[in-house]
Structure 1
Amino acid sequence: MQTVIFDLDGTLAETSGDLLAAANFCFAQMGHPELLTWPEDAATALRGGRAMLTLGLTRLGKFDQAVIDEFYPVLLQAYGASINRFTTFYPGA
């Protein structure tokens, strides 16, 4: 038996909307408004959860690595819970 692993994230599917929603969930938990928007921040979403948290907190002038470390697992959980709300397949995928 052979195993094939294929990463759909950003390859066949546009997942940045769900990633941004997960980051915005974290900001809401911190008491902030939605700080990231689609499509403006889509490229940051595809750089990962820590990049999104960094961008949002930097926009507030409140960058804090400890806060990013604390909320990164929250972001992953939020993304996993709502992984297909905004995700769409690219044409032809």
Structure 2
Amino acid sequence: MTAVIFDLDGTLVDSAPDMHAALNRVLAERGRPALTLGQVRGFVGHGVPTLVRRAMVAVGAAEDSFDDWHDGYMRCYGEGICERTTPYPGVVETLELFAARGHRLGVCTNKPQGLTEALLDRLNLTPRFAAVLGGDTPFGRKPDPGVLREVVARLGGGPAVMIGDSAADIGAARGAGHPVLLFLGGYADAALDAGAADAAFNDWAMVPGLVEAALSSGTVSGRQVV
């Protein structure tokens, strides 16, 4: 059967509240002003180093203190990784439907591997995925298609569809030669062109039909579902 691969933050789960809390703990420890949840949502998508650097720039912290800030964030986020994080409405039901149809499921995220595995465990989602790769593995970080190719290979190869919420997800899918669906309820910048994906959606109930269309034709012809 076909592989369906998901981004994690901003696609399967709304994890920004816990990232926001962790970053603000780091800021408070260093005597810096707090960031808003909206700011942190805009920082997500390209891995922890980018998240931390964007936060540092926002408060005027010196780049040479990056290691300290990064270590602080990893500690704070690891301690509170799943206090307010939840799957988006309809996600669990969609995963169950895909599994019932025999699809092989994977996760391809720029979140570090250890944090990814910890979060999936806390949400009881780990058994649903046969392959999970984070952004700190030797296979690269999206939009590099290498990490997506590796997830597909671990799922047995063949046809695959990527589902994400960002330009990084679209870039990885295009580079790997797979159709991509864009979740409009995630963390993507408002300037992102949804037409760059094969289809865009707000409602997870639409996803099984969009995936089937993508698999039958190799694309869903830029059709946008809202």
Q: How much identity, in percent, do the aligned residues show?
A: 31
Provide the C-alpha distance between the structure 1 equivalents of 2:58 and 2:72, rounded to a whole number of angstroms.
20
Q: Give 1:57 deviation, angstroms.
A: 2.5
Partner of 2:73: 75
Paired letter, 1:57: M
- In angstroms, what is the RMSD of aligned CA positions? 2.1
Shift of 1:7: 6.4
Q: 1:11 to 1:59 in 2, by over 3 A?
A: closer
C-alpha separation between the residues in 2 aligned to 1:8 and 1:56? 21
Cα separation, 1, equivalents of 2:87 and 2:21: 18
Aligned to 1:56: 55
Pairing of 1:10-29 with structure 2 (within 5 A): 10-29=10-29
- Hey, what's the Cα distance between the residues in 1 that align with 2:16 and 2:44? 5
Structure 1 portions without partners, runs of 5+: 1-5
CA distance in 1 between counterparts of 2:27 and 2:86 reads 24
1:20 shift after superposition: 1.8
Gaps of 5+ in 2: 1-5, 92-226
The Cα of 1:87 is off from its aligned counterpart by 0.8
Question: Where is the strand percentage greater, Structure 1 or Structure 2?
Answer: 2
2:56 counterpart letter in structure 1: L
> Which residue in the other structure is 2:32 paired with?
32
Please say which structure displays the higher CA radius of gyration: 2
Q: TM-score, normalised by structure 2?
A: 0.34
